[in-house]
Structures are given as structure tokens and as C-alpha cells.
Structure 1
């Protein structure tokens, strides 16, 4: 397969930016997973979809929207009632989910080419993200692996806490460059590093 081209284009500038003294407040990176897939349950089939995600991706989701699970290479979380975003660093997840989900139970949509995955990590990640989104990013309100679907103006973002100081954000590929530039601007005063 051909190498995936980043939608960030010339906005992607590796290195240190913003406030130069001390350690950077955040580290920004594009993770480029091989698979980003939405699994949607038809009414009454949520448990069957959760079981299919466990079978196809090896991830055990809790019941209910907002819950999630994350490993070093995979993640899954609820984005709405009966809808889940499932991410894998390897390709082929959509096919594995389609094989695990009966047609009467739900639908699978491969979003791999329509979404961009951005990681925001570091000691001031919560603070920088709170400048953009009207949600509580504290560990108590958004615990490890939990997620939220929200937006900044017209840019939809699905956000999952993947570590104590780390968040993965999924945004529409067509809006990724604009979102990235806004994120960099929000991080300037604390200093950020692009990796």
C-alpha cells in the first residue's frame, strides 16, 4: 500500500514552538492508525456489537456510551448511544468487524481515509484542550480510556483519554489542517513540541 499522505501538509513543522524556556507544556503528533472504524448497533443490538468488537479487535468495552478501552496499539470508545469508534494501528479492522457483525445487528463504516488522528500529550494537555472545548478534561471527569464527542465551532472532534496526560483526537480529514493550526496556536503560550 502507498504511504498515507498527511492532510496537515505545510502546517506540520516538527520541532519546538511557542514559549522556548523550560520543558514544552504539550507534545503534538499525528498518529496515523491503519484503521479507524465506526460500528453502529441497530436498536436492541448494542451488546452484540460490543461482543463483535471484542472478537474482531480484542477489546472489551464496558456497556454504555462514553466508556472505552485503550492499549498501545488499539482503542475503542462510545461516541453516541449504540455507536462506537474502534481504532487499530494495523489495517483490516473494518473487514474483521463486518465478519463479526450480523447484518441484522448493525453496520460498519470504515472512516480510515476520512479522519485524522492527533495526539495531545504532556503536563498541560488538559489545560490546552480546555481552551478549545467546553468539557472537563480532569482525570476525575474524563478517566483513562473514557471519551467524549464534542466540537469546536464547526469542527467535530472525538476525544479519548489514552493516558494520564495523553489524549487522542479524531477530526474530519478535510478540516484537520485548520484544526491543527488552531491547536498549535492554543499551545503557543505553554510551549509545544511537534513530533
Structure 2
């Protein structure tokens, strides 16, 4: 029997067109990129295993996703490889679920990134309240968003694949006044 391989196709492949858009004066205020292909696995610790699970996730790109829950991300991994690794490593500690095909991960960076995000979320994005590494579950434009600050002016936004296109339209529209670039 031949092993089947799958190619992940971004839900935004026909929408996230590279180029500069919006205000054309001065420097670009916001830059967007689609982090694709991206392996995304949800990890939920079993009762009483939160600390042990968190310790086992050291070395992984793990973003908080609720009490004793994380999104674990990896680029350039084979189809299902991250899921298989975590399932074996976390056996007895946590449940894991591959979300790679079900979520889209956007990276928003630039001096106006926080201003764009503030248009759609009640989360206090001031650096004192939302430091690098912090995550929040929120809604923007009636879409559930997992928001993580990954750098001084850089944020990752994860949305369900089915909402990705409408969310893209909304967030790029919010960025027009600052000028934005898609890379």
C-alpha cells in the first residue's frame, strides 16, 4: 500500500495578494504574512497534569490557549509529524488534537499593528498589560481569534479556516489608513 501525502493549501492563497495597499504616503504601518504551512496542535492537560504538561512543552513554540491548554506550533514539519511527536511525548499527561488544516495563522507586524488590533478587541494591548509571549482568546469582527504577542510590534492571530477570508477582509480594511503590505 502506498502512503498518501497531502499538501496543505492556505485558505487565503487567492486573497492574501502580495503588495502594498491603503495609504501610500510614508512608511508602511502594518505588514501581514500568512504563516503557512504551519503545524498546529491543541494540547489540553489532563486533570492535575497542567504543570507536568507545561514542563514537557519546553522547547516547543507553545502559546497559551486557556487554563492548562496550549497551541503548539511548528514550521517545516511533515504532515502530522508534530501531532505524532506530541501524542507520544504527552501520553498520560494530555490530549492532543491536530488543528493544522482547521486554522489559519496570520502574522501582523509594524509600528501600527497595535492600533489596528485595538480597533477590534477589548484586550488591553499596552505592553505593560500584554507583554511579549502573552496570549488571549478574543473576538474581532464577530470571529474568534487566538491572539499572541510574539515581538515588540509583532502579533500572531489564529482563526478558524472557515472564517479566514472574511477576517482577512476586515483586518486589512482596518489597516488601510496606515498603509499595509502583504508579504
**TM-score normalised per structure 1:** 0.85
Aligned residues of 1:33 and 1:88 also touching (Cα < 8 A): no
The answer for unaligned runs of 5 or more in structure 2 is none
Q: Deviations over 1:32-67 (max 9, x none)?
A: 14311111011111012112212xxx24xxxxxxxx
Per the alignment, do residues 2 and 97 of structure 1 end up closer, same or farther by CA in structure 2, a change over 3 Å counting?
A: closer
Aligned residues of 1:33 and 1:117 also touching (Cα < 8 A): no
Q: Deviations over 1:107-161 (max 9, x none)?
A: 0011011000100000000000000111111211111111111112431111111
The answer for unaligned runs of 5 or more in structure 1 is 60-74
Q: Does 1:101 align with 2:117?
A: no
Aligned residues of 1:128 and 1:187 also touching (Cα < 8 A): yes
Aligned residues of 2:8 and 2:101 also touching (Cα < 8 A): no
Runs of 4+ in 1 over 6 A off after TM superposition: none
**TM-score normalised per structure 2:** 0.91
SS of equivalent residue, structure 2 residue 125: coil
1:87 CA displacement: 0.6
1:1-195 map, 5 Å: 1-54=5-58, 58-59=59-60, 75-91=61-77, 92-103=81-92, 105-195=93-183
How many residues are aligned here?
A: 176
CA distance in 2, matches of 1:34, 1:118: 10
